[in-house]
Structure 1
Amino acid sequence: MSDALLIGATGMVGGAVIAHAGVLSLTILVRRDKDDLPEEHALLVAPPERWADIIAVERPAVLISCLGTTIRQAGSQAAFRAVDHGLILSAAKGARMAGTRHMILVSAVGASANSRNFYLKTKGETEDGLRALGFERLDILRPGLLMGDRAGPKRLGEGIAMVAAPITDALLHGSLRRYRSIPSETVARAIVALAGMTQPGVRIHENDAMRRLAD
């Protein structure tokens, strides 16, 4: 079994996990070849419909999902759900078939299956689906606005939010602190720390918790 298998490697958080993996041995599963991969990590390239079978063969000790898109980027709500719900659950089922006991998911602050917001509802339903699979340990990270350099096309709304983040964050206190922005590298370091933890249970990690793990 490899230490960890990562899906969602091309996003901000996934790329940061690769950069901050340290001694963690990663198998990185992507749909297209990735040229800038450090030599110490293994790369697998396959279409998403084959991911579950590949993960089952790889038998990772930990499955890490940093996979995620936006409705605008995906093109429709259905296409968004196919990635953020369908593909993640398919990968997770492949891992469980192989005996993987631990999964780490990057979700979103406010995720809830009862939300009226389609994006947050989908994220919440994905979390619930993973709980139902019965991983011995499930870590769910719920970041707010991710700060950092994103590859690919720029997102205007996200760029404006990043500029306003210092002011917005200063206004968020108490239970609202979880909505503060957070650097993608902080989330990645928290993921690497969690990958080495074995105590059973389902754990939710929001802004302050991720920062403590990263330190």
Structure 2
Amino acid sequence: MAGNHTQRIALIGATGLIGSNLLRHLEGRPLLSLARRASLPGREGWREKVGPMERWPALLEGEQVDVAVAAIGTTWRKVGNWEDFDRIDRHGVVEFARAAHLAGARQLVVVSSSMADAGAKNRYLKIKGQMEADVASIGFDRVDILRPGLLKGERQERRLKEGLGIMLSPLLDMVVPKKLRSIEAATVAGAIAALAGREGEGVTIHHNPDIRALAAETETGS
């Protein structure tokens, strides 16, 4: 069943690779974007509040939200240390989720990473896993965690290792498990659109094949 298109969505990450693709699926849906800089295209029913990430929870005060969507993400190479990576990819997401829950959101849809694990030795996977555990404990009726593989799509910046991975992805996809294969950011965005507003309860983790199936629902309008 496709998501409820009348429910009010609060979004972080509208300028990112996934978020920018998601916007085209949200035409006609009530949307509030929180961002560090003004960038949201003008659409009827869309609003944007701008401020530093630390201010995003305060920007949700007094708002009414049904669905929270967190599509932000950075890299260690971009921030230069694990403390800032943790501050953005874990605490930034968690604090937004808590504020959205206080604003009435019953559902959270969040982008994580394949192989995320709070007990992992790898710092990236550990932080992503800790984020998942944190948001799952907030009290949402429904939490949808998307774990895509290597994201493909047009970025404003090109990351060297990521670029090499994308170049090799056709070969890698032939040998790695399905849930670890590369995936278009537009496909992940389609899955988020299908999930946003969906009924049901509990925490569900969506791996690569699940994400593709959800995105197909969006394209067919089911």
Which of residues 109, 112, 121 in structure 1 aligns to 2:114?
Answer: 109
Deviates more, 1:14-23 or 1:118-127: 14-23
Letter in 1 for 2:93: I
What is the aligned partner in structure 1 of residue 92 from structure 2? Answer: 87
Which shows bigger deviation, 19-28 or 156-165? Answer: 19-28
> Which residue is 2:162 aligned to?
158
Does residue 188 (structure 1) correspond to residue 198 (structure 2)? The answer is no
Find the aligned partners of 2:62 and 2:94 in 1 and give their Cα distance. 17
2:171 to 167, 174, 199: 167
Matches within 5 A, 1:27-106: 27-34=32-39, 37-40=41-44, 41-106=46-111
8 Å CA contact 1:107, 1:140 repeated in 2: yes
What are the Cα deviations for residues 11-57 of structure 1, in whole angstroms up to 9, with x where unaligned? 100111112224332211101111x6142322211222221122232
* 8 Å CA contact retained: 1:9, 1:30: yes
1:133 has 2:138 as partner: yes
Task: Tell me the SS of whatever aligns to 2:15.
Answer: coil
Contact 1:24 1:192 in 2 (8 A): no
Shift of 1:165: 0.7
Does the aligned pair in 2 maintain the 1:7–1:64 contact within 8 Å?
yes
Identity %: 39
Task: Measure, in 1, the Cα distance between the counterparts of 2:9 and 2:36.
Answer: 18
**Equivalents in 2 of 1:38, 1:183: separation in Å?**
26
Q: CA 1:197–1:89 in structure 2 vs 1: closer, same or farther (change >3 Å)?
A: same
How many residues align? The count is 210
- Secondary structure, counterpart of 1:198 in structure 2: coil
What corresponds to 1:203 in structure 2?
A: 204
SS of alignment partner, residue 56 of structure 1: coil
**8 Å contact 1:2–1:27 — kept in the other structure?**
no
Find the aligned partners of 1:148 and 1:138 in 2 and give their Cα distance.
Answer: 26
8 Å CA contact 2:7–2:29 kept in 1: the answer is no
Amino acid corresponding to residue 48 of structure 2 in structure 1: L
> 1:2, CA displacement in angstroms?
6.0
CA distance in 2, matches of 1:61, 1:126: 21
RMSD between superposed Cα atoms in Å: 1.4
Q: Secondary structure at the match of 1:121?
A: helix
Is contact 2:117-2:129 (8 Å) kept? Answer: yes
**In 1, Cα distance between equivalents of 2:130 and 2:123:** 10
Check whether the contact 2:149–2:208 (CA below 8 A) recurs between aligned residues: yes
The CA deviation at 1:201 is 1.1
Q: Secondary structure at the match of 1:149?
A: coil
1:3 and 2:4 equivalent? no
Residues 6, 27 of structure 1: 8 Å contact kept: yes
For 1:136 and 1:76, how far apart are their aligned partners in 2?
34
Gaps of 5+ in 1: none
1:178 matched residue in structure 2: 179
The question of whether the paired residues in 2 share the 8 Å contact of 1:137 and 1:199 is answered with yes
